[in-house]
Structure 1
Amino acid sequence: MSNDTRYDENNGVVDSASSEADLQETESHEQEKDDEQPLATAQKNMENLAGNVAATVGGALGEAQNAVTSGISAVREVRYAAKAHADARHQIQEMRTVLTSDKEQLEHRLYVHENYDGIVSEQTAIITESTQEMQRQKNTVDSLTQHHTDLQKQLETILSEDEQNLRPYRNLSETAKGRLDDVARTVTEAKRAIKMAEAQVKDATDRRDQACASAQRALDNSHERQHKLLEELTELKKDPAANNSAISRVQNDIASEKIRESEAQASLASITEQAKSAIEIAQTHLWTQKKSLESAQSATDAAHSAYEERKNEFERLQTEARARERIAQNNLTAVEENIKQAQDAFDAAAQRHDDALALLEDARVIQASPEETERLKGSVSSQLSAVEQKQDEIEKLAHVEKTLRVTTRKQRLALLAVIAGFVILVILLIWRILN
């Protein structure tokens, strides 16, 4: 059969080229269907999974919502019960405080009614005794205060007299100290002058020795030159061939040396005489300064002895004055202490007097108002009943609170679990996002 053969759809005969094209198109559609089938299956599975998850989550959310609602309700009920219990305890505490105060007042009033005569007698005696004690201590304080004034004036007089008596001796001591300082400075200056005089003697001696040595060297040199010229003259005279002019020249040189010898001797004598005078002057000045130092040292010893005498006398008188002043001050201090003790005793007696007066006034007021005592009796009795009722109420509230805590324990724990799960879910979500 050729490629152009076709078959009719009704009788099965078609063109061969058309049949091949239709076959290829059919295969292509089948291939597309095969490719789309896994995707459709996966999508359907995901939809089923999402439905199941939604159903599960929805159920979980519903259960969580129920747990939260019941947990919050349970917590609220427990809190209300605890608050009611606490308020009741606070109320009974206040009631007991008021009751205690009223009971103490009632007991005090009953005691006063029963012992009124004894209280009046006792407190009246205390008032009388304390009044007398206050008067005695007041008189003592007044007397001691006057004595203190006298002692204060006496101390001021002693201080003034001691100052006047000590002033001349203080001045003498200070004057002697000034004189000692002056002569001490004189000794220092004399020592300094001696050192300068010793230096002057040494300088004059050194100058004399140097000048004498120089003149002596000139004289010795002249002697040596004369000796050489005489030897030369002797040799010339012995020589028959010697020239008369040479002999004459040597003789003239000898005469000149003799003149220089005479001048050197005169200079040596003059230097010795002048140096002797200068040295004697320097030594005299040194001797004078040494005498001045001896005199200054003797004056220093005398001034030091006088200063020690004046100082010791002043210190002795000052010690005696300070002893008198200290005795007067001690007497003054003792009186001040006695005044303080008397004042303290007066204050204590005044306090006893005021306390007794207050107790006596309180007893009179209570004795004059028996109706108040009766009112307190009724009030205390009513308060005792109210406290008993409130105590019963507290016990009931405590039982209600305890029962609620037991019966709602599961709901409150479930609420805590939901909150913890929510917190964990948020943490995981944040961790997922961050990663």
Structure 2
Amino acid sequence: MGEPRGDEFVDERRDKGANGPSEAGAGGTDVLDAARGAASGAAETFMSGLTAVRSVHEAARRHAGARGTLRAMLDALEEEERVLARREEVEGSYDEIVREQSQVAREAGEKVEAMRSRVDELEGEAASASKELELMRESHEREQRPYRRLTEGARGRLDDATRVVAEARRAVKTAEGQVRSATDRREQSIAAANRAVDSSQARLRRAQDELSRTREGGGSAFAQLQSEVAAELAHVESARAEVGVATREAQAAVDAAQTHLWTQNKSLESAQREAEEARREYEAHRQEYEAMVERDRAEERSLEERIAELRTRADEAKADHDEAAERHDQAQALLDEAEDVHATPEETERLRGSVEGKRLEVSRQEGVVEGLAQAERDLRARTRRERVVFGAVIVLALALLVLVVVLLATR
């Protein structure tokens, strides 16, 4: 390859070492000259290894580039072979393709038109049914409105009657409390009056006993005791009269409270009857209204189901339309391809020539790739020693660099 080999560098160094003493004169064993020669040899070895590495890299690059070119040529050849094979297949089956695909395109086109008409028909029916549903809902709303108002009014009256019943119950409880209070006051008043009678009778008995003991003596003391007995007797009669008055007054209060309670109970019974009537009226209106709503909703659901069915059938017709349109397009594409191939035989001939030319180019390129591959293998074999030495020099240099860094860091 015109590149110096490692053994040539060694021979040159040997020649220089052999001739050196004769050129240096009597002082040829000088240590400085020996050191310079060693350094020069090391530099030459390094450069030889670097050149070998570069040469191998360049050979590998040329080989890879040639292989990439070959791949591109093979891809282009494969594509043209595919196109040529397709054109030859179409040309060979031209009459059959035209006959079959014309029939497919015709039938598919007829189905496309039929499905388009069917879709328009079904969508029109669905739109009409939707409009009918809208009008039906408006009609139902108008019919339901009076019944809904009656139901709402009955519900309001029921709520009012329920509140009246609750108020009447509270009034009854209040009246019952008043009866209990009046009864308690009556008992307390009668008991107080009876206690007053008992107290007056006790004082009367004491006065009478006193009078009996002083009856024999006579005089002013006896007369005074007689006056006291008469006074106590009057007190007893007055207390007994108070018992009757207290009893009558307390009983009158109890009777009034009981009368008020009876009135409140009657009011509660009346409110409960009215509430029950309001409940029956509300239930009747509610049931009538709900029955109407359910009946109308059933009619609306029936129409909604019909609309959904029409739309489903329209979607199915659309799918059939799209499938037929796709078959028509595929058949038409095959017809167009067949007509184009049949009308341009010169293009087929051009492709045949191009394919043959590309095959020759590929064959030549394969030879180039093989030659470059062999050259790369030979170069790698020839320069193996130089590249190994170069690698060792690099490793040694790195080791020395690390050693220097470590020494500097540990100072």
Is the pair's TM-score, using the shorter chain for normalization, greater than 0.5? yes
Distance 1:158 1:68 in 2: 101
TM-score, L = length of structure 2: 0.80
Structure 2 spans left out of the alignment, 5+ residues: 1-30
Map Cα deviations across residues 43-64 of structure 1 (whole Å, 9 max, x no partner). Answer: xxxxxxxxx9x99999998787
Q: Are residue 110 (structure 1) and residue 85 (structure 2) matched?
A: no
One-letter identity of the residue aligned with 1:166: Q
The answer to whether the Cα contact below 8 Å between 1:102 and 1:380 also exists between their aligned partners in 2 is yes
The one of 253, 268, 285 aligned to 2:260: 285
Q: 1:100 to 1:228 in 2, by over 3 A?
A: same
Distance 1:410 1:253, change over 3 A: farther
Cα gap change, 1:279 to 1:386, in 2 (>3 Å): same
Instruction: Tell me the number of residue pairs that the alignment of Structure 1 and Structure 2 aligns.
Output: 380
2:88 is the counterpart of 1:147: no
Query: Secondary structure of the residue that 2:215 maps to in structure 1?
Result: helix
State yes or no: 1:294 paired with 2:272: no
Cα deviation per residue 1:55-76 (whole Å; 9 max; x = unaligned)? Answer: 9999998787666545544443
> Partners of 1:195 and 1:407 in 2: how far apart?
126
Is the aligned partner of 1:221 residue 2:199? yes
Which of residues 98, 122, 127 is equivalent to 2:76? 98
* CA deviation profile, 1:115-166 (whole Å, cap 9, x unmatched): 3233333333233222222222222223223322332233223323332333
Q: CA deviation at 1:94?
A: 1.8
Query: Identity, % of aligned pairs?
Result: 38
SS in 1 for 2:214: helix
1:227-376 alignment runs, 5 A limit:
227-238=205-216, 240=217, 244-376=219-351
Three-state SS of the structure 2 residue aligned to 1:237 is: coil
The one-character-per-residue Cα deviations of 1:337-359 (angstroms, maximum 9, x if unpaired) are 22222222223333333333333
CA 1:79–1:219: 2 relative to 1, 3 Å: farther
Alpha-carbon distance in structure 2 between the residues aligned to 1:123 and 1:80: 57
1:382-393 → structure 2 map (5 Å cutoff): 382-393=357-368
Q: Does residue 394 of structure 2 align to residue 394 of structure 1?
A: no
Change in Cα spacing, 1:416 to 1:207, as seen in structure 2 (3 Å) is farther
Counterpart position of 2:188: 210
Relative to structure 1, is the Cα distance of residues 418 and 214 closer, same or farther in structure 2, using a 3 angstrom cutoff? farther
Of 107-116 and 411-420, deviating more is 411-420
TM-score (norm: length of structure 1): 0.76
Residue 419 of structure 1 deviates from its aligned partner by: 4.6
Contact 1:67 1:418 in 2 (8 A): no
**What is the match of residue 162 of structure 2?**
184
Q: What RMSD over aligned residues (CA atoms) do the two structures have, in Å?
A: 3.2
Partner amino acid, structure 2, of 1:261: V
Cα distance between partner residues in 2 of 1:237 and 1:59 = 183
After TM superposition, the runs of 4+ consecutive aligned structure 1 residues lying more than 6 A away are 54-64
1:227 deviates by: 1.7
- Deviations along 1:365-417, whole A, 9 cap, x unmatched? 32222222111111111111222222233333334444555555555555555
Q: Is the 8 A contact 1:162 1:321 kept in 2?
A: yes
What does residue 21 of structure 2 align with? none
Q: Distance in 2 between matches of 1:258 and 1:74?
A: 162
